[in-house]
Each structure stands twice: as C-alpha cells, then as structure tokens.
Amino acid sequence: MAVPQTDEQIEILKCHAQIVMIEAVAGSGKTTTLAMLVKQALTRGMGAHQIQCLCFSEGANKRFREKLYEEGVTRPVPLNTVEAYARECLAQLGEALTLEKTRYYASDEELRPHLVAAANSVLARYEGRAGRIDNGFDFSFEKNSANAEEMFSLLYRFKASLASHRFHDEELDYDDLDQLATQFGTQIEAVEIGIAYERQRQTYPGEYKWRSAADLVPDLVELLSNHPSALEILPVKGLYLIDEWHDINAAEFRLLQLLLRGNNLVAVGDRYQIINSARGADIVYSTAGFEMAFPNAQYLPLGKSYRFGSSLSKLAQRLTARKCASHEDLYTEIKRLTYDPTLSGDCAAKVTQQVQALVKARADTRYSDIAIIVREPDQTIEIENLLLDQNIPYYCDDIESYLHRPEILMLRGLLHMAGNSFATLQGDKESIKRMVMGFSLYLPVGESSEDWERGYFAEGTWFEEAQRMIAEQPNALKDFFEAVLCKPRDTDDDMTLRWKQRFTDVVEELQKLNKGSSAAELLNFANRQLSLVDATSRAFINRSRATSAAKSIQTFIAFATRHPEMNAADFLAELHLRQQKVSKNRNAIQSRRQLTLTTIQAAKGRQWPHVLVPYLQQHEFPRLRDIAEEVRHFYVAMTRAISSLSLFEPDEEHAGQRSVLMDRVRK
C-alpha cells in the first residue's frame, strides 16, 4: 500500500528540473521517493520502457522492487544494478555489431592465470634489460594470494577510475608510467602488469577475450566513447532514477553521462553510507564532480528519518559525528545484550534467545519482521545451527548458507572419502558442484591442464565433467581427487608436488583413522596436517574472504566437536538433514514467514522492524584496519532498524574485548 507523502517528497514530486540530486539521511524514504516518481511518470503517460531504474547492489535492487510494489506500480519497469545493465547493453551491442563473444569470469580465482601470465611477460622484459635495477617488486602472483589480491585491487581501481583506458596507447612512455604509479600509490612494475593484463584481454578495440564484473561498465564506456554511433543502438530512456548514488564510481558516472542524451536524471544518496570504497565509490561524484557535470542541477533534501526514533538517531549521530534527525512520533528501542566470548556459541545462543523473546513479546511480531545482520558470512555458522536446532525459520538473504560454502564442502568431501560413504551426495548436484569448486580452490588445476583433461574426461571442461560424473556416481569423487586433483604433472613445481602428496597422505590417513574416530577428530586431524588456515590464505585471493573462510572452517570444526558421538557417516547425514531444511527455506513463499540472515553489504537499502547485530567484539567487528570504513558499516547496520535494535557485545568480565565501535556510541 502506498505511504502518505511527506512535505519533502511533495516538493520533489513537484520539481520539473532536468537533473535532480536528492540529498538524504538513512530512513528518510529515498527509495520510496524514487518509487513515487516512477508512479507519477507512468500516470502522466510515460511508457514503462522509457524509464530506467538503477542501483549498485542486489540488496538495493530488491528493496527498490519492493517499494515499487508498495506504491502500486504494477507495470514491469526496467530495474537493474548498474553492472547488470551494462552487461545487458554489451550483449545487445555485441549482437548488433557482430562482436566476438566474450568469456565471463565470476571470481578472482578464475582470473588468476591471466594475471600470472601478464606478470610473467613483464618480468621477462625486465630480466632482458641490461643494467636493470632490482627494486624488490614481487612478481609471485601464482602462489602468493596476498600479492594477487593487492594486484587485483589495483586493477579494479584502474578500471573504476577509467585509467585502464589509457593502457592500449602504444605511445605510453616512462613518464606516463611514473605518473600513473604516483597517482595510484604503487610501483611502475604494477602499472606495467596492469597494462599487460588489459592488452592480453583485448583482441581488437571494443572486443575482449574475457571480462569480469569489474570490466562491464568500463568496457561499455570504452565502446560507446570510441563508437558514438553505437549509442543509437541502445534504447533511449526518458527518465533515469538512480538509488544509492553515493556508491557511484568514475566509470559509472561517465556511463550515465553518455546514456542521458539530454534526458532526465533523478539521483538520491547519503554520502555517509559509502561502504563500497573497494569498488571505487568516490564522494566527489556526490559533491564537486556532480556540480561540474550538471551545473544546472537542482538539489532537494530528505533530511528527516521516518524509519527510526530519536534514540537511534542519537546513536547514529554519536557514531558519525553528524546531525541525524527523526520524526517526533517514532520510537526505537535500543538493547545492549552481552555474552561470554570465551564460551563457544554463547553469542549465537543470546541472539536466538532474543529472537524468541521478540516473537513472544507481541502477538503480531512475525519471524519475517526480524533480521540478523552480520559483518561477515563466517559469523552465520553458529547462528544457523542454533536456528535449525530450535526450528526457527530463516533464510540467507544474498549470502550462502554455510552448508553451501566451498571451504565447508571441501571438508565434507574429506569426510566422504575418509568413510568411503557417498550416499548423501546422491542427486545433490548443487553440493557436488560446490564441492568440486572447493577442492579446486585448495588443489588448483590451472589453465595448463587442458590437454590431459581431455584424456581423462569424455567431453567438456574438467570442471563441468567432474560435476556431471560425480552427480551420476558420487563415489567418483575419490577417483576425481586421486586421478585429477592430486595427480603429479610435468608442469608442477616442487611446492605443488609436495602439496599434492601431502593432501594424498592426509586422505589415506583419514581412511585408516575413520573406523575408530569421530567426525570431529578426523576434521581436527585434517586441519592440523594440512595447516588449513595457511592453505586458505593461499586458496582465496581476497584477504577478507580468506579470513572469513578460515574462520568458517574453525567454527565448523567446533560445531563437529560438540557432537563427539558422531562418526563421519553420522555427521554427514546430520549435515544433509540440515541442508534439506535450508533448501526448503529458499522457497519464495516460505521466505515471507522467515527471519532474515544477511550481511551489512546485502542489507544496504533495506529495513526491518527488529534488527540484531551480533559479534561486536575485537577481530569480529571491526574487521578492517580502516576504522572510518567500519564506522560506515556499523552506521548502515544499525539504521536498518525500525522498532528495535539489539546490539551484542562481550560481557563486563570481558569488557576489554569489546568493539571500539561500541565505544563511540556508548554514553
């Protein structure tokens, strides 16, 4: 049902300016206002196809769609993330211009071989230069995930800023390279690797061998800039409505300038919600950059929150040190709950207790009114297990259940092989797919294996065929492990050969230990012998993801330890039952009656009557060294709440372990 319009929203709806920037605070109705504008445009006769709604995350996309429904917009209005819209445009242009199809990579792990090739080509040039001065630059991206992460992060910054568009200029000289290195705070060798990577990627101007999500917008900008006539192929939109404008980067800003073509733009944002700095989000495009690009733009405020009460606005004000106002009639209860951080699972137990208390307190409170918002996915494991144990219905929103994560499925795969028991995998294609992915992260096959893959598999890539074979016959997992992942190859270096042998030895020992050992004992043995924390840091390029995966492994093993009576087969059967429950929770109709378990990044742009934020302790939240970034994350998490906000921190006895973020909001 449509909500009553506020005075500020009425002024926005009355505005006839071509370019409008709405400067908002959290909970002020940003997305609702855009939905109102969509409804108004349709009512005035604009076709749905002439409107384009855009945002920068799947969470914001979902919220926008919900608001359109609430405002009574029944016609299908185009709504995409900017990346998804760029991908659609590239596909349309590729077909119209008969461009070669481009392979799409979904992860940095898949891109790593291309980065290694680019680095090796630069290293070869350096080694061939007479009088070369070694400045200590580390070219080891194949085995060093930390190095690879840093380089990918730099590549994304090159792309987000559009600096990568200069990389195809054959006339780039040393001074240009030095200037780029200074601009991005890196070494010249890193710039040269970026150039080599982009030149390997491009076959002809506007055509690429591969791309990832980070390439979608820059590639579209380059295509439209180099071929202005291509713009005419894309449909003209009379009105662009952009939510969460504060997340925009240079490439996206330039794309919107190209797409506008003299038509209308309404952007709404809150500069204090920038939590996408890793993707190049820059406040300049909400301030001076916007003013320069659109000098005649009209600025209108949404300055009062209609989501939460003054108690929460005061909390947000203390956290961010900026003014935050709420509507006078609203009230939000703030609860600070404590747990013992030395007691495994205690925080999760207190969270589930609070969930039950909220449901029991009011007859009209449903589980779907509650969201548990965590900083990182690894923090869901203990919570998920207790929710399952207590039959509290939940679904994971825009994150994977821990049972489907590759690092956990790799551990489950070890237990399957240890007990030679594969029954619970029968027909479970999704788990098998992710299990193969998990093993391939820890035992990478690499691009150089194409020839021998064809000898082992009948058709398709090794990845596709492994999934198909194991899905048809689950015990083929053992053959896949031995004959593919751990088989020594002529191209393997000494370190890789030792690692394969170590993995093989561990599996053989697990099979010997299986008969008289619990699942927990087997997992602890594998964890020690494989040094899984170190192995995980090598397997995942992104350090934040690696840290989260390592924590997931530790928490998963701790869960197994609480069930010492279960052997490998029993534990796998228990996990299978839990997975079946989680799968049922994916049903869209069921999800309307379920609690939401999500991350801060996914929760952005959304709201719930009751929000719970757990693990407010050192090394859990904050996770990053950049406290300013963590403050913004905390601000986004707490301002999702409407009626109540529950914050969970270590008890008085362990006050020294409390998060520094809580120090900012404590009276």
pLDDT digits over 442-461, tens only?
886 654 344 334 334 444 45
DSSP 273-308: G---GGGT--GGGGTHHHHHH-TT-EEEEE-EESSS
Interval 401-416: pLDDT, tens = 999 898 999 999 999 9
Residues 500 and 633 in one domain: no
Share of the chain above pLDDT 90, in %: 57
Cβ(159)–Cβ(129) under 8 Å? no
- What's the total number of domains in the chain? 4
Determine, yes or no, domain membership for 33: yes
Interval 606-618: pLDDT, tens = 889 999 999 999 9
Residues 170 and 247 in one domain: no
Q: Which residue has the tokens 């909970």?
A: 27
CA 363 to chain centre: 36
Across the chain, mean pLDDT equals 88
Residues 113 and 73 in one domain: no
Residues 202 and 265 in one domain: no
Closest CA to 485 of 569, 414, 429, 402: 414
Interval 174-230: pLDDT, tens = 899 999 988 888 889 889 999 999 999 998 887 899 999 999 999 999 999 888 899
**CATH at 565:** 1.10.486
What amino acid is encoded at 534 in this protein?
D
Determine, yes or no, domain membership for 118: yes
Q: Which residue has the tokens 């000289």?
A: 173
Residues 137 and 159 in one domain: yes
Determine, yes or no, domain membership for 94: no
Q: Decide: helix, strand or coil at residue 540.
A: coil
Determine, yes or no, domain membership for 96: no
Q: Which of 60-69, 350-359, 480-489 has the lowest mean pLDDT?
A: 480-489
Last residue of a domain, one of 161, 182, 215: 215
Determine, yes or no, domain membership for 585: no
Cβ(96)–Cβ(171) under 8 Å? no
C-alpha angle 584-68-376 in degrees, rounded to nearest 5? 50
Domain interval for residue 113: 101-215
Interval 475-521: pLDDT, tens = 888 888 888 888 888 877 788 889 999 999 999 999 999 999 999 99
Residues 136 and 171 in one domain: yes
Determine, yes or no, domain membership for 515: yes
Interval 119-150: pLDDT, tens = 999 988 887 665 444 556 778 787 666 678 77
Residues 504 and 605 in one domain: no
Tokens of 183: 């601009």
Cβ(46)–Cβ(73) under 8 Å? no
Residues 496 and 415 in one domain: yes
Last residue of a domain, one of 244, 273, 303: 303
What amino acid is encoded at 497 in this protein?
L
Residues 372 and 442 in one domain: no
Last residue of a domain, one of 155, 183, 215: 215
SS3 for 44-66, per residue?
A: CCCCHHHEEEEECCHHHHHHHHH
What amino acid is encoded at 615 in this protein?
Y
Residues 554 and 596 in one domain: no
**CATH at 49:** 3.40.50.300
Residues 556 and 598 in one domain: no
pTM for the whole structure: 0.78
Residues 565 and 484 in one domain: yes
Secondary structure element (H or E) that encloses residue 437, with its range:
helix 429-442
